[in-house]
Amino acid sequence: MRSAAGEKYIIAINPSDKKVEAVISSQGTGKAILTIGNNPKSTYKPGKKGTDTILLPPVSAAVYKLE
């Protein structure tokens, strides 16, 4: 996570040739907006049990703004 001027962002990179899932500690957000990415199939799902999930297609990158 990166933050500046009160804004928070999650940066995710998948250089592999396979779809990947990353489970991270919950960031306490209700919404994550894809602001930069090379694949619209990337997803960020805020969780309800203390974790959030990021799904990235092969060879992709995404930046999510947390709101």
pLDDT in tens, 13-60: 999 999 999 999 988 887 899 999 988 889 999 887 889 999 999 999
60/16 Cα distance (integer angstroms): 8
pTM of the model: 0.84
Residue 47 belongs to domain with CATH number:
2.60.40
Beta strands 60-66 and 20-25: pairing type? unpaired
Domain count, the chain: 1
The whole domain housing 36 covers: 2-66
Looking at residue 4, its pLDDT comes to 83
Looking at residue 11, its pLDDT comes to 95
Mean pLDDT of 2-18: 92
| Residue 1 pLDDT exceeds 90 | no
